[in-house]
Amino acid sequence: MIFVLVLTTTIIVFGQAVQISGIVTSQEDGLGIPGVSVTVKGTTIGVLTAADGAYSLSVPPGSNTLVFSFIGMKKTEVEIQGRTRIDVVLQPDLIAMDEVVVIGYGTARRGSYTGSAAQIESKKIETRPITDVSQAIEGTNPGIQVTSASGQPGSGQSIRIRGFGSVSASNDPLYIVDGVPYALSISNLNPNDIESISILKDAASSAIYGNRAANGVVLITTKRGSRDRTSIQFTVSQGLSTRSIPEYERVSPLDYYQLMWESHYFSQVYASTPVDPAIAAQNATNGLIKNIGYNITTVADNAIVGTDGKLNTSAKILGDYAKDLNWQDPIMRTGHRGDYGITFNGGTDKSDYYVSIGYLNDKGYVLKSDYERYTGRVNINTQPRKWIRTGLNISGTMTESNVASQGGTAYVNPFFFTRNMGPIYPVYQHNPSTGEYLIDPVTNDWLFDLGNVPGLPVRPGGASVGRHVVAETLWNDDLYKRNVLGARTYVDIFFLKDFKFTINLSSDVNAYNGGSFENKTVGDGAPAGRGDRVNTLTTIYNINQLLNYSKTFGVQSVELLLGHESYDYTYNYLRGFRQGLIVDGNTELINFTTTNSLTSYTDKYRSEGYFSRLNYNFGEKYFFSASFRRDGSSSFYKDNRWGNFWSVSAAWRLDAEDFIKAMPWIDMAKLRASYGETGNDSGIGYYAWQALYNLGRNNADEPGFQQASLSNIDLTWESNNSVDVALEFGLFKRITGSLEFYHRISSNLLFSVPLPSSSGLTSISRNVGTMYNQGIEFRLGVDAVKRGDFNWNIDVNMSTVKNEITKLPQEEIIQGTKKLMVGHSIYDFWLRDWYGVDPSDGSALYDADVKDFATQESNLRIVNGTDTVTISHNNAKYHYAGTSIPDLMGGITNTFTYKGISLSVLSTFQLGGQIYDGSYASLMHSGTYGTAQHVDILKRWQKPGDITDVPRLDNKQTSVFGAQSDRFLVSASYFSIRSVTLSYNLPVNLTQSIGVNNARVWLSGENLLLLNARKGLDPQYSFAGTTNHVYTPSRIITAGISVTL
């Protein structure tokens, strides 16, 4: 929230006053600036600019100068010189020590703030085609790592602030919307309604939120109205979306025949009972189509690949087969995105209002991935008397979406299915003799080829026989509707001059209705068809009371906050699952014959908190702050329910000292430091300390239940203790920046500790772990060029993070591709040690674990004279093979402005770290019939003496040659052009001549370029450095126009 000086207009007219009007715009983007103070120099006569930056001021005769001032902008004085219209362009103030930053339960001036907080203003969001507010955070500030687990329209991003605070509980930051904890999806918010986003990174800034602030806090403040003038703004944008990350490169159909021949050939030659090479070659030639099912070439089955392993030069793709081998073509499209909005903004000297209506229609680039959202917001504030101020902020969101299946290896997942389908298998049925499409005589449409149609070839198991992702996507449904209503109201009471009492009430209600249908023709629903319904209702209530005291004593000032907060969360879940479709076209559960499952439950969570904060300022030079919060959480047993969280911090404005003032090239220098403790009870579970039981464990007709977990009354929150030291600076009136060091220790980490088998359970939850994160953050802003109307600003941010475990409940914990051990990070890879390929026979070689040499001797080999290796993945040695955590990450923003034209380019980058590319590994198999292969397989071993790192093709060795190992690690480094926006603000004299205050047009693009180690790889899929078959991010190009009346 930005506080501005409210000016009292006292006009004493001596003679005839002159009316001066104009518009105040920003040099950065050419937009009108609301709330700019416009005064007659030497008087108290003045006004504030309206929402579009317009003003009108009655100036006494004899006045010479107008003064324009606004937080974050350089104060500007303009000579009147008899003019009645004066338009002004304000330049940004790089130092901006008076900039107001939104913090916990209040605001602070940047120059006096002792904590670590980053802020993103609305102008950085408005022209970007983003659906979720979290998408605006990436690359803008140091210490923040972002991943995009899905490009599904409506999905958001995962955020980590200064590393990873937990192993088993949540690592997500706490979201606060308009001062209230927000547990619903951030995608419910219309980005165009956002005034600012503040990210609280250290204990000094976040400890005031206590038990849920260990992973940082994201504060979102929505827009409010501007007094003095009414404005109406219309915004429209239209765009197209395509896949931003290309598919992995895979071999061609004709190459595939030769590769599958080799796989069969070598599986005989190198079998435990070897087959004569000549016989093996003949078998491979004669059995090729028997193994892989389809001959889509112009030659006979036994003539595609000769006994020499070479492709027949006469083999061509037959007929219409050539047009029907890319499974992505019929399921992917060019998406369309339309975003429309209207806002009403205005007020009087005592009240203001902001009303917005928004509509978003985002059709993704995959069939049936559509997202539709309606939003509305009314924010009204009034101050009928000097001693009281009140307001009401109501928002509503209606969302409807169908969802493309994604993640994992489900046959209905289009990203898995189309990626791994062998290149010789058509989407539709063809005449095997001519290659022509087969036509449905009733519908006249092409017929889907399920790979097991009578009379047609049969696909092998590796080609998902009997399944068809296009048909299943078209005939299945996965839909949801979500209706969200939020309300916030407050009352401020001012008394005894220095006191303010505030009460905030809020409620959020989320009604979700989801349903899926699986057809009865093909897929998991066959042959009966089945339906699923999920209804949930989330209700959240929050109330807090705040008492603020602010007093100035000469050069000293004190601010004191006392508060109480109560939070109540209830989640109701109901699900029904039935099968046996009765009447086609009706997917309601009543239209199925058999109930597979019916379940419901309710989760409840409550927390109570008492908190305080003290800020002390001595001479605008020395600053001190301390906060304390005592929280109680229903997640823990009554004796461990309450915890204390606190922080202390201080700052020193070095530029206020004489020895710095003597250095004119130093515009600003501030040292600050903080230390404190925060907590984490998110992700632990609402009933974690209690013994839980699973119902429905029946014995024939006798009902029963089974114990699922043991009680642990000692369970408590995870804690974070963090230290932060920083230097903020401004130099040469062109450069600003900061250098920051942090160290955060996470203790009482929650782990599942193994139990003896005699207990009947496998584990119990306990607080037994410790780890730390530390790093350096750097930000530099430079006015690189300032020549006349042309400006070029560069903003660079970089950060590092080191994560290390210092205590575990046991010596080691293996989790997939990772192993947790003291001295290592939570994301260190633990994999087989790949050695290479044996040139003599093309076998995969692993460094051997020779602890049990005698039983492994038959699998061991000595290579290079000294190296002991093994051909068995079961005998391979495991080792730490790197980490997914990067060495350096950051963002670069270049902003160019010339008169009304602005160009902004946001780039992000990451150096270091590794990814286990499981998607690539699945394409590098050694001969699974029917499954696609990566083009790197063409580098395979083919004959004795070949030097390569790709083993021979051998259908009998797929699990051995393709075993999980460091062979499939790849660099996680990347550089991306994340966002580009080109905008133009039409000249004011032009717009006003047609009755428009201002107008802007823009062209914007998201995810325009990605440079990384492998085509097809998304290096930002997960923090853990893994891949999955998910909806890859979209490249979105939009054009928009905004008109303000």
> Would you list the DSSP string of 211-255?
GG-TT-EEEEEE----SS--EEEEEEEEEEEEESSPPPPB--HHH
Q: Are 512 and 571 in contact (CB under 8 A)?
A: no
Instruction: Give pLDDT, residue 4.
Output: 33
| Interval 12-21: pLDDT, tens | 333 467 889 8
Banded model confidence at residue 94, pLDDT cuts 50, 70, 90 = low
Tell me the C-alpha distance between 959 and 618, whole Å. Answer: 70
C-alpha pair distances (Å), 467 with each of 412, 448, 521: 8, 10, 10
Q: Are 71 and 63 in contact (CB under 8 A)?
A: no
Instruction: Give pLDDT, residue 890.
Output: 96
Res 453 pLDDT > 70 = yes
Q: Of 679, 751, 678, which Cα lies nearest the Cα of 168? A: 751
Across-strand partners of 372? 361, 400
User: 3-state DSSP call for residue 280?
Assistant: helix
Q: Average pLDDT for residues 254-271, to the nearest whole number?
A: 97
Which of the two residues, 97 and 1020, has the higher pLDDT score?
Answer: 1020
Q: Are 295 and 312 in contact (CB under 8 A)?
A: no
Name the helix (H) or strand (E) containing 705.
Answer: strand 705-709
Q: Of 275, 276, 144, which Cα lies nearest the Cα of 198? A: 144
Tell me the C-alpha distance between 464 and 883, whole Å. Answer: 34
415: DSSP letter: H
Distance of CA 758 to the CA centre of its chain: 43
Residues 6 or more apart whose CB falls under 8 angstroms from that of 765 comprise 684, 685, 688, 709, 712, 715, 750, 751, 752, 753
Tell me the C-alpha distance between 924 and 936, whole Å. Answer: 8
Q: Map tokens 């300032």 to a residue.
A: 786
Determine how many CB atoms are found less than 10 A away from the CB of residue 104: 27
**Quick one: what percent of the chain has pLDDT higher than 70?**
97
Res 210 pLDDT > 60 = yes
Instruction: Give pLDDT, residue 139.
Output: 92
Lowest mean pLDDT among 230-234, 597-601, 681-685, 1006-1010: 681-685
Instruction: Report residue 617 as tokens.
Output: 């300022």
Banded model confidence at residue 840, pLDDT cuts 50, 70, 90 = very high
Lowest mean pLDDT among 33-37, 343-347, 636-640, 869-873: 33-37
Distance of CA 183 to the CA centre of its chain: 16
Domains of the chain (ranges plus CATH)?
Answer: 18-90 (2.60.40.1120), 253-327+428-467+925-961 (no CATH), 834-876 (no CATH)
Backbone angles phi, psi at 219, to 5 degrees: -100, 125
Q: Average pLDDT for residues 896-901, to the nearest whole number?
A: 92
Res 316 pLDDT > 80 = yes
Query: 563-573: string of b/e by CB count within 10 Å (b at 16+)?
Result: bebebbbebee
Instruction: Give pLDDT, residue 14.
Output: 34
Backbone angles phi, psi at 64, to 5 degrees: -115, -30
Strands ordered across the beta sheet of 194-200: 117-121, 194-200, 217-222, 174-177, 180-181
Q: Are 162 and 110 in contact (CB under 8 A)?
A: no
First to last CA, the chain: 24
Q: Average pLDDT for residues 180-184, to the nearest whole number?
A: 93
Instruction: Give pLDDT, residue 855.
Output: 57
Res 856 pLDDT > 80 = no
pTM for the whole structure:
0.89
Q: Map tokens 């021979």 to a residue.
A: 952
Instruction: Give pLDDT, residue 217.
Output: 95
166: DSSP letter: -
Query: 391-400: string of b/e by CB count within 10 Å (b at 16+)?
Result: bebebbbbbb
856: DSSP letter: H
Name the helix (H) or strand (E) containing 257.
Answer: helix 253-269
Q: Which amino acid is at 705?
A: F
Banded model confidence at residue 841, pLDDT cuts 50, 70, 90 = very high
Tell me the C-alpha distance between 1031 and 1011, whole Å. Answer: 19
| Interval 125-178: pLDDT, tens | 888 888 888 889 999 999 999 998 788 899 888 999 999 999 999 999 999 999
| Interval 638-676: pLDDT, tens | 999 999 999 999 999 999 999 999 999 999 999 999 999
Q: Average pLDDT for residues 913-937, to the nearest whole number?
A: 97
Q: Are 741 and 729 in contact (CB under 8 A)?
A: no
Backbone angles phi, psi at 930, to 5 degrees: 100, -15
Res 696 pLDDT > 80 = no
User: 3-state DSSP call for residue 993?
Assistant: helix
| Interval 608-645: pLDDT, tens | 999 999 999 999 999 999 999 999 999 999 999 999 99
What's the chain's length in residues?
Answer: 1045
CA angle 285/286/292 to nearest 5° reads 85
Q: Average pLDDT for residues 897-911, to the nearest whole number?
A: 95
Instruction: Report residue 990 as tokens.
Output: 């032009």
